[in-house]
Amino acid sequence: MSDEHRGSPRYNLSSIVAMLGDKECEIVDVSPTGIFLKGGDSSLERGDVVSVDLSVPLMNHIVPVRVDGFVIRSDEKGIAIDYAKPAQTWSHVLRILDIKEHQDDQ
């Protein structure tokens, strides 16, 4: 989890694959309310509505998750997206994945 002091915890989860359109993107960080991606469509502008398709590893399966949101920033560093309406369970899934990845690192 990131050490930044924000409203929602940020996680750096390399186990999740993110697709923005037909381009695979690196997840810089993800939270219950948004996601920051490196790569993707550089022509996106603030306010553009997007869907991000995530492949989330849960219980020995890959679970497809689609999150809809809007671009809040797009520059050479990446694309910041706020979710239109995050599911309440998403924050629990992120915490579990964060714990699992840190256990796998040990």
Q: What is the pLDDT of residue 38?
A: 93
**Is residue 65 included in any domain, yes or no?**
yes
Half-sphere CA count of 41, side-chain side, radius 13 A: 15
Average pLDDT rounded to a whole number, residues 18-45? 89
DSSP letters, 23-79, are EEEEEEEE-SSEEEEESS-TT--TT-EEEEEEEEEETTEEEEEEEEEEEEEEETTEE
Residue 27's domain is classified under what CATH number? 2.40.10.220
Domain hosting residue 32, numbered range: 1-88
Average pLDDT for 24-39: 90
Sequence-ordered list of residues with C-beta below 8 angstroms from that of 92, at least 6 positions apart, any chain: none
pTM of the full structure: 0.76
Query: Tokens 């369970």 — which residue?
Result: 89
Is 17 part of a structural domain of the chain?
yes
How many domains is the chain built from?
Answer: 1
